[in-house]
């Protein structure tokens, strides 16, 4: 028997060759985007939860992903509403998908102010919590109708 194949045989079936317990890993940004895309395609699972409140956005928590490693929610934005958020260093990335309507995202960071329109059918990533990580972000429903978004973030 060749001695150089013994380590390969003894490591088969182990998640970690050093014998450490492998726990659940947080989903990647790509996995979060895929989960949102799948959820967006199953409107029957969330459409009944849409609430049209003219005074403020309506946020409804959805069931977590099957592995329990991400949280998901639905937000309905009334026309003209603005909502801001300040990111912090180390914050988990959030993936959002605009299902209906239109929003504008304004980001104020160390490099200045950036504004971009968000359109239905698109997915975007924000809140990656980089070293600067203290960007202020505002979403504004610039349309004349309600906007509906789906969101996912690693736990």
All structural domains of the chain with their residue ranges: 3-154
Q: Return d(Cα 94, Cα 136) in angstroms, integer.
A: 14
Fold for the domain defined by 3-154: Jelly Rolls (2.60.120)
Q: Which two tokens stand for residue 114?
A: 């950036």
- Indicate the pTM of the whole model: 0.76
Question: Is the pLDDT at 133 greater than 90, yes or no?
Answer: no
Structure confidence by residue, pLDDT tens digits, 94-103: 899 999 999 9
């Amino acid at each position: 028997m060749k001695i150089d194949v013994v380590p390969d045989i003894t490591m088969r079936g182990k998640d970690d060759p050093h014998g450490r317990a492998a726990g659940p890993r947080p989903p990647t940004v790509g996995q979060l985007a895929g989960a949102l895309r799948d959820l967006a395609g199953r409107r029957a699972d969330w459409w009944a939860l849409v609430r049209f409140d003219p005074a403020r956005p309506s946020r409804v928590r959805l069931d977590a992903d099957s592995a329990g490693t991400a949280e998901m929610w639905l937000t309905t934005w009334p026309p003209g509403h603005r909502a801001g958020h300040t990111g912090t260093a180390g914050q988990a990335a959030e993936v959002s998908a605009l299902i209906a309507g239109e929003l504008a995202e304004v980001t104020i960071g160390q490099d200045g102010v950036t504004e971009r329109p968000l359109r239905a059918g698109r997915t975007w990533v924000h809140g990656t919590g980089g070293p600067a990580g203290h960007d202020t972000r505002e979403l504004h429903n610039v349309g004349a109708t309600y906007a509906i978004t789906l969101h996912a973030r690693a736990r």
